[in-house]
Amino acid sequence: MRPAFHFTARQGWINDPHGITARDGGYDVFFQFVPDSTVWAPGCRWGHATGPDLVSLAELPVAIAPGEGDDGIWTGSLVQGDDGQARAFYTATTAADFAIGRVRVATPSDPGWVSWRKGPVVVEAPAGLELLAYRDPFVVREGEGWRMFVGAAGADGTAMALGYRSADLDTWTYDGVALARSTAERDPVWLGSLWECPQVIEVDGVHAMVSSVWDQDVLHYAAYALGGYASGRFDATAWGRLSYGPSYYAPSFFRDGQGRPCLLFWMRGVEDLEAGWAGAHSVPYVLGVERDRLVAAPHPDLERYRAPAVADGVVPGSAADIEWSPREGATLMVTSAGELVLEVSAGGEVLRARAAGQVHEMPFDGGQVRVILDAQTVEISCSSGLLGLVSRPSGEWLHIRADDVTVHPLAR
């Protein structure tokens, strides 16, 4: 039941990936981690994994743990300053009110970034705003200095990305609301009352704000705004939904070793409770902008693990990378030991995916569909978005049937 090409912890609960850094020919990935539980708890840590690519990660010891004034170590980001020093900016929470976090900094004690020293709190929720939530700093280079964005929820139902600026990564100044939207707005897409992990990035010369949509303790999906950004203010000209289905949440932005803009998601529902673990990370995705739409395609690193295409659609094991060019009304079927693993149908500008007794939809306006299967995980991508599902293959082989399909087994 454990995926081979999606990161999972040996034991415990994981959720948001963050601090993803390409260095020394490989990657460091940090993540929210509850090592002694298969359900989320507020006393999170920063877990840590490294590998030559993002589908071959090995877990390391916990990087940052509660203590020294922190009851929980929540999501944040990591940057390397002009001095080469890595700095992790994380959400420090207290049990008294973990909805309103503080931003604290930590630095590594060794070249492998295995052990970290906590530093001061550098940012707190600004006075004068009536906030219900405040968390998830994202730090990015801006001109000669630095910019930080923090997610916030106003008591009036306004989701916000708050902005801060710094010349040296040490002293930060609040710079107002970078972007906001009311939970009452639903056209063309609803973005909830809190943006978790709001990240302002540049893709193909266009600025985007990518976030996770939260409302009343329910985690919904990933969404985005496209537009122009300057001097701490984002002018949104288009809004869109990036993910569909019940699994994807908390995408984390990074640039890969070649500088390409990428995302890595938390995948909910991927778990083996008897074995004592819950949660996985997606395969990495490369971002682009097409026709006022943010698009995501599986990272080329995954192709390193492709075996030659099989002519009969029969794959040993439970991992496959499928390229499908469906016509109107076409269907792709995946079975294992005679039982349905996945059924995907294309029709009426919609892709419908059925797995584990549930049906989920996403928009579809033609073109190639990519389907990645890896034990429980199902990831479907096209130019209209991403659809994440969980399935339960029961046999030792996958049987994949569709017209206009190419099937590559995934193998190490």
SS3 per residue for the chain: CCCCCCCCCCCEEEEEEEEEEEECCEEEEEEEEECCCCCCCCCCEEEEEEECCCCCCEEEEEEECCECCECEEEEEEEEECCCCCEEEEEEEECCCCCCECEEEEEEECCCCCCCEEEEEEEECCCCCCCEEEEEEEEEEEECCEEEEEEEEEECCCEEEEEEEEECCCCCCEEEEEEEEEECCCCCCCCCCCEEEEEEEEEECCEEEEEEEEEECCEEEEEEEEEEEEECCEEEEEEEEECEECCCEEEEEEEECCCCCEEEEEEEEEEEECCCCEEEEECCCEEEEECCCCEEEEECHHHHHHECCCCCCCEEECCEEEEEECCCCCCEEEEEECCEEEEEEEEECCEEEEEECCEEEEEECCCCCEEEEEECCEEEEEECCEEEEEECCCCCCEEEEECCCEEEEEECC
- 188 and 330, same domain (yes or no): no
Cis bond upstream, residue 284 (ω within 30)? no
Whether 6 is covered by a domain: the verdict is: no
CATH at residue 124: 2.115.10.20
Whether 4 is covered by a domain: the verdict is: no
- 213 and 107, same domain (yes or no): yes
* Mean pLDDT of all residues in 231-258: 98
What local confidence, expressed as pLDDT, does residue 392 receive? 87
* Mean pLDDT of all residues in 164-178: 98
Residue corresponding to tokens 């916990």:
62
What local confidence, expressed as pLDDT, does residue 289 receive? 98
Residues 325, 330, 334: CA angle, nearest 5 degrees? 85
- 156 and 110, same domain (yes or no): yes
- 185 and 292, same domain (yes or no): yes
- 269 and 318, same domain (yes or no): no
- 289 and 356, same domain (yes or no): no
Whether 133 is covered by a domain: the verdict is: yes
- What count of Cα atoms within 13 Å lies in the side-chain half-sphere of residue 352? 13
Tell me: the pLDDT tens digits for 71-100? 999 999 999 999 999 999 999 999 999 999
Indicate the average pLDDT of the chain.
Answer: 97
- 147 and 274, same domain (yes or no): yes
What local confidence, expressed as pLDDT, does residue 206 receive? 97
Tell me: the pLDDT tens digits for 280-304? 999 999 999 999 999 999 999 999 9
Whether 351 is covered by a domain: the verdict is: yes
Tell me: the pLDDT tens digits for 352-372? 999 999 999 999 999 999 999
Above 90 in pLDDT, residue 2? yes
What is the distance between the alpha carbons of residues 377 and 389, in angstroms, rounded to a whole number? Answer: 6
What local confidence, expressed as pLDDT, does residue 316 receive? 95
Domain containing residue 332: 306-409
- 115 and 241, same domain (yes or no): yes
What percentage of the chain reaches a pLDDT higher than 70? Answer: 100
Whether 5 is covered by a domain: the verdict is: no
The last residue of a domain, from among 244, 268, 299: 299
Whether 3 is covered by a domain: the verdict is: no
- 266 and 394, same domain (yes or no): no
Sign of the torsion formed by the C-alpha atoms of 244, 249, 253 and 258: negative
* Mean pLDDT of all residues in 204-218: 97
Whether 7 is covered by a domain: the verdict is: no
- 74 and 137, same domain (yes or no): yes
CATH at residue 390: 2.60.120.560
Above 90 in pLDDT, residue 1? no
The last residue of a domain, from among 244, 275, 299: 299
What percentage of the chain reaches a pLDDT higher than 90? Answer: 98
User: CB atoms < 10 A from the CB of 40, how many?
Assistant: 13
- 117 and 264, same domain (yes or no): yes
What local confidence, expressed as pLDDT, does residue 53 receive? 96
Whether 25 is covered by a domain: the verdict is: yes
Above 90 in pLDDT, residue 395? no
- 146 and 56, same domain (yes or no): yes
Strand-pair partners of 353: 344, 360
User: CB atoms < 10 A from the CB of 269, how many?
Assistant: 16
Tell me: the pLDDT tens digits for 112-152? 999 999 999 999 999 999 999 999 999 999 999 999 999 99
What local confidence, expressed as pLDDT, does residue 61 receive? 98
Among 101-110, 197-206, 338-347, 387-396, the minimum mean pLDDT is found in: 387-396
The last residue of a domain, from among 299, 332, 359: 299
Count of structural domains, the chain = 2
* Mean pLDDT of all residues in 243-264: 98
